[in-house]
């Protein structure tokens, strides 16, 4: 086609043949890393020992289920991914994978992961994985994401299920400890994503996604980040006095929540005129800290579980 402004010929990009890396990208490997780690912590922190091979299979199938959710999310969101700078290079909008291929890929992996997790461990774990995929794809992606600014608050439950699934895979049940790990991730999700939305707002504007920054503005988003961070800190520190906590966990929680609260306060008190001037450095710093925050808390839970094997963990 011809670009009239420059009177030069522009060749439209042709879809390339899908490679292995393109299908792997559909699984959202960065998100899968968090899913795998929190599920592993849930599995190992459980009081019931698991055979290493069964444990490996459980984590593998949970990872595949998480990847299936990512593929189905990219299939449904291909239209908005194509207009967002952060997602425009994903396999479907880039033309490397066709939407129907991503749909078939995601559905096949969903069935495979849930069935084989149930066979390898128990059907409670398999059922929880199936519900997680359903929640992320149907409740969050298809419904909440484009209909309410509370999308990431309610939809965050999908990302909070993996430690509960890991716990269920080990014990065949869901206990208070599993719910605490779920709540920790659930409460962490809103400030984590709202910080991202603050410095990526133009993407959500362009895509028409009703993120809180779009519907209520940046000032309201900053207030919400502070409120959720305060609630998260109370939950995270309180968890240190439960069966999955202990001195190591509590020390980590006290340090990280002090830093997280400081970051949320800095975001809250910022002037909107400052945001453009410093390119949202405060929000970006808080977002990066939020990644360390969750990994460190779950790492501390894992450390307490390891110490407990030698009679050193917890408050006993």
pLDDT band at 15 (very low <50, low <70, confident <90, very high): low
User: Which pLDDT does position 98 carry in this prediction?
Assistant: 95
Q: Which CATH superfamily is domain 18-174 in?
A: UbiA prenyltransferase (1.10.357.140)
Nearest to 195 by CA among 137, 266, 108, 247: 266
pLDDT at 135 over 90: yes
Nearest to 43 by CA among 61, 53, 55, 28: 55
- Per domain, the residue ranges of the chain are 18-174, 176-316
pTM tops 0.85, yes or no: yes
CA distance 250 to 255: 9
Mean pLDDT over 185-214 rounds to 89
User: What is the 3 state secondary structure string of 152-219?
Assistant: HHHHCHHHHCHHHHHHHHHHCCCCHHHHHHHHHHHHHHHHHHHHHHHHCHHHHHHHCCCCHHHHCHHH
**Residue 54 contacts residue 48 (beta carbons within 8 Å):** no
Mean pLDDT over 304-315 rounds to 86
Over residues 252-274, the pLDDT tens digits come to: 999 999 999 999 999 999 877 66
Mean pLDDT over 111-139 rounds to 98
User: Which pLDDT does position 280 carry in this prediction?
Assistant: 84
Nearest to 137 by CA among 64, 76, 91, 207: 76
Token digits of residue 105: 């890929």
Query: What is the torsional sign of CA 221, 225, 226, 230?
Result: positive
Backbone angles phi, psi at 96, to 5 degrees: -85, -25
**Residue 222 contacts residue 270 (beta carbons within 8 Å):** yes
pLDDT band at 92 (very low <50, low <70, confident <90, very high): very high
Residue that is written with structure tokens 């906590």 in the block: 245
Per-chain mean pLDDT for the chain: 90
């Amino acid at each position: 086609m011809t670009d009239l402004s420059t009177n030069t010929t522009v060749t439209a990009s042709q879809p390339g043949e899908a490679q292995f890396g393109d299908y792997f990208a559909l699984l959202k490997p960065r998100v899968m890393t968090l899913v795998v780690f929190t599920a592993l912590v849930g599995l190992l922190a459980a009081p019931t020992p698991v055979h290493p091979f069964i444990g490996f299979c459980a984590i593998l199938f949970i990872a595949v289920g998480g990847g299936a959710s990512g593929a189905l999310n990219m299939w449904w969101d291909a239209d908005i991914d194509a207009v967002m700078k952060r997602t425009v290079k994903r396999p479907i909008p880039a033309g490397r994978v066709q939407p129907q291929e991503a749909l078939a890929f995601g559905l096949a992996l969903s069935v495979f992961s849930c069935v084989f997790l149930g066979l390898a461990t128990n059907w409670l774990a398999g059922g929880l994985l199936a519900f997680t995929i359903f929640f992320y794809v149907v409740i969050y992606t298809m419904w909440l994401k484009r209909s309410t600014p509370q999308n990431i608050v309610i939809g965050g439950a999908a990302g909070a299920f993996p430690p509960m699934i890991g716990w269920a895979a080990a014990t065949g049940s869901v206990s208070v400890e599993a719910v605490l790990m779920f709540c920790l991730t659930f409460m962490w999700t809103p400030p984590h994503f709202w910080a991202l939305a603050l410095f990526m707002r133009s993407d959500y504007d362009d895509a028409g996604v009703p993120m809180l920054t779009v519907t209520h503005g940046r000032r309201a988003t900053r207030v919400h980040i502070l409120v959720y961070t305060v609630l998260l800190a109370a939950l995270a520190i309180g968890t240190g006095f439960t069966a999955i906590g202990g001195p190591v966990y509590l020390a980590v929680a006290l340090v990280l929540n002090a830093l997280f609260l400081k970051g949320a306060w800095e975001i809250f008190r910022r002037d909107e005129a400052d945001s453009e001037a410093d390119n949202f450095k405060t929000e970006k710093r808080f977002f990066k800290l939020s990644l360390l925050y969750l990994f460190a808390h779950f790492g501390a839970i894992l450390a307490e579980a390891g110490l407990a094997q030698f009679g050193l963990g917890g408050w006993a």
